[in-house]
Structure 1
């Protein structure tokens, strides 16, 4: 960076910002490896993607500044600046490839939409060779970032759909729980009604039994009275039933007492 400062303050400043972003990306991917939750991984990957976009913008500014000052430098200085730019592009593309790998792993955890996340990875690595031109490296890096962004968007849609399904399921379970609660309350009410009805039946049974006993006693009394009357009529001189209350003394006894006087 001191060498760049001697050449151009603007180039040195851009290089410093790019270096800061690369350090943040390195630390961010190290942290990403330790995160287990896929949703947190997605959010962390979005932050890293924003850092990579910023790096791409800074590298473009670096390239424009080189082309602007190209006529002011000798051949060796221009070669050094182009090698510096190419080094930035390679490092950025390495983070882009790493981002794509993490995005594929996150998607595979959420839903099996992609098989073989490493497919074509050897080809991508070969494109990072030093023999490629700067424009090819930039185009390849942009293409990889676009693919990764699309993969992340698909992952977001899957997560949102999962959340919607979970919300609908929770609402259905709540409705079923309320319905079950109403059924339990109705069963309790029916049980109470049956218990009350059973008590009423028992009370009616006891009342009927009492009424039957009273009727039986009344019938026995009536039968007894009828029996006494019959016996009195059949045996009017029977001493055992003469003094029963309600029966008058024989007529002939009255006549005897009258005649005696």
Structure 2
């Protein structure tokens, strides 16, 4: 957002540095969806968080100088400068909200350091209430939604894989138990057949012996 608000050289310099950070944040979050490795995503998010903290510091400095010069400026100029500050706050809060979305998807539960300047007051506020997602741009909302859907799809796929593996292990265990029981049953049948064969052999010998005795008599 280009500014045609009348500023002192000091305010212009701070404003320019803040706009540079906003461009860096925009490019940085656009790269997040292209990074597939979670460790690299976490590192990228850490770098972006550092930029947001620096931006927060600069906006506070902008606000401090604005108050120092307030008595020297006409009311309309003060209003324009305050509107400029509120634009910066809203823009930064949109990136804070976007950061929370990516942080949640990475399973990082660290508390987000929220920007502590009110939306309508010229004084910095201590209220750290979470800013609404309405502060995000449409493209940021779309990108954030797509990222969350991708994360959900991956989680579902992992859950299905775990379920299949567990089911396979259970079937394998049941099959092994059944095979063990069948093996023991086969051994018992084999033993019984051996016993029958031995009995038949003894009976055959007895029959032959009786036959010889009859022939002799």
Match of 1:116 in 2: none
**Which whole-Å CA distance do the structure 2 matches of 1:180 and 1:65 have between them?**
73
Alignment of 1:245-260 (within 5 A): none
Give me the whole-angstrom Cα distance separating, in 1, the residues matched to 2:85 and 2:92: 11
Does the 8 A contact of 1:25 with 1:95 survive in 2?
no
What pairs with 1:186-201 in structure 2 (closer than 5 Å)?
186-201=177-192
Query: What does residue 141 of structure 2 align with?
Result: none
**8 Å contact kept, 2:21–2:51:** yes
Shift, 1:93, TM fit: 0.8
1:57 and 1:82 mapped to 2: Cα distance?
21
For the 8 Å contact 1:18–1:58, the answer to whether it is kept is yes
Q: What residue is the counterpart of 2:130 in the other structure?
A: 147
**Aligned 8 A contact 2:63 2:85 in 1:** no
Count of matched residue positions in the alignment of Structure 1 and Structure 2: 172
Structure showing greater radius of gyration is 1
How far, CA to CA, are the matches of 1:188 and 1:16 in structure 2? 77
2:207 is matched with 216
The equivalent residue for 1:22 is 22
Aligned-residue Cα RMSD (Å) equals 5.2
Q: TM-score, normalised by structure 2?
A: 0.51
User: For 1:146 and 1:35, how far apart are their aligned partners in 2?
Assistant: 30
Measured at CA, do residues 185 and 200 of structure 1 come closer, stay the same or move farther in structure 2, by a change above 3 Å? same
Give the drift of 1:217. Answer: 1.7
Go from structure 1 to structure 2 and tell me whether the alpha carbon gap of 1:82 and 1:102 turns closer, same or farther (over 3 Å shift). Answer: same
In the TM superposition, what are the counterparts of 1:49-128 in structure 2 within 5 Å?
Answer: 51-69=51-69, 75=73, 80=77, 83-97=80-94, 100=97
Please state how far the C-alpha of 1:211 moved relative to its aligned partner.
1.2
Partner of 2:122: 134
Gaps of 5+ in 2: 105-117, 133-150
How far apart, CA to CA, are the structure 2 residues paired with 1:204 and 1:191? Answer: 20
Alpha-carbon shift at residue 29 of structure 1 (Å): 5.2
- Could you report, residue by residue, the CA deviation over 1:182-227 in whole angstroms, capped at 9, with x for unpaired residues? 554443333223222322222222221121111112122223334x
Q: For 2:57, what is the secondary structure of its paired residue? A: helix
